[in-house]
């Protein structure tokens, strides 16, 4: 069980906005460590969507955005598209465990 | 275009040592401000950070695996490696090698290999 908690699944219709939460604690997100987000399409390696809470690598559509507040972070996907159907993982550092930790992942389904 | 490619046995017997190599092509492993990491993913499960190594040889390992993990880098062959000893079925997973960036901001891995499935079974 990860120290970063994500909902197992979220869904939305095409064009809608969905958000995925990543809840941590005082030794990770709440300690000020950055939160990063990956998208993993079936059978492929993860792809970085957001780093350091809210920064998008070049090539990532601006439909993806990240935010952080307190001990939680969120990934928002606006204008949901069929190609967004994938697993999404948050990542941060935990000072108690002394390791980078991933959330358990959230499956996004486009209805 | 820089690419990473994992290689190694796809089947390892319990109690033996898993050995994987990640070959970097398209650029020198020593160029830029990068670290080189290993991440694994059991089937239908989430991602687990194994550790990272710098071309200086400096390493950071996941404490839960630290007693069994060794990472090394061979700059002359433009590759880095992972050894995981005393494996059990719980170590069965897809193993990814990946490159991240250090600088003013730590950036998690943006360049990944395709991954290689390692099964631990007798």
Taking the CA of residue B66 and the nearest CA in chain A, the distance in Å comes to 11
Specify burial of residue A24 (Cβ count, 10 A radius: 0-12, 13-18, 19+): buried
pLDDT tens for A21-31 read 999 999 999 99
What's the mean pLDDT in B56-65? Answer: 94
Q: Is the pLDDT of residue B32 over 90?
A: no
On whether any CB of chain B is under 8 Å from the CB of A60, the answer is no
B97-108 per-position pLDDT tens digit: 999 998 888 899
Mean pLDDT of A51-65: 96
Nearest CA in chain A to B4: A45
Among B33, B12, B39, CA closest to B95: B39
Partnered with residue B6 across adjacent β-strands are: B22
Chain B CB contacts of A97 under 8 Å are: 63
Q: What is the pLDDT of residue A1?
A: 80
**Nearest chain A residue to B45, by CA:** A104
Mean pLDDT of B47-62: 95
Predicted pLDDT of residue B122: 96
pLDDT at B104: 80
- pLDDT exceeds 90 at position B26: yes
Q: Is A82 helix (H, G, I), strand (E, B) or coil?
A: helix
Kindly tell me if the per-residue pLDDT of B31 is higher than 90. Answer: no
User: How many whole angstroms separate alpha carbon A19 and alpha carbon A50?
Assistant: 14
Cross-chain Cβ contact A52/B105 below 8 Å: yes
Report the pLDDT value the prediction gives residue B46, as an integer from 0 to 100. Answer: 96
Residues of B in contact with A99 (CB under 8 A): 49, 62-64
């Amino acid at each position: 069980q990860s120290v970063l908690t994500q909902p197992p699944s979220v869904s939305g219709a095409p064009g809608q906005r969905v958000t995925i939460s990543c809840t941590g604690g005082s030794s990770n997100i709440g300690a000020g460590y950055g939160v990063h987000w990956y998208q993993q399409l079936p059978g492929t390696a993860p792809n970085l969507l957001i780093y350091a809470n809210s920064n998008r690598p070049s090539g990532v559509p601006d439909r993806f955005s990240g935010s952080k507040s307190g001990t939680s972070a969120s990934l928002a996907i606006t204008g949901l598209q069929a190609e967004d159907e994938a697993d999404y993982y948050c990542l941060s550092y935990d000072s108690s465990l002394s390791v980078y930790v991933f959330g358990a992942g959230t499956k996004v389904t486009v209805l | 275009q820089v690419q990473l490619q994992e290689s190694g046995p796809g089947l390892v017997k319990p109690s033996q040592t898993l050995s994987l190599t990640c070959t970097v092509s398209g650029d020198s492993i020593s160029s830029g401000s990068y670290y080189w990491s290993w991440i694994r993913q059991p089937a239908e499960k989430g991602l687990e950070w194994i550790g990272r190594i710098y071309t200086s040889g400096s390493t950071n390992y996941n404490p839960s695996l630290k007693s069994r993990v060794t990472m090394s880098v061979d700059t002359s062959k433009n590759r880095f490696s992972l050894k995981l000893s005393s494996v059990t079925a719980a170590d069965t997973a897809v193993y990814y090698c990946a490159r991240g960036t250090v600088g003013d901001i730590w950036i998690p891995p943006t360049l990944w290999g395709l991954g290689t499935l390692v099964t631990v079974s007798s």
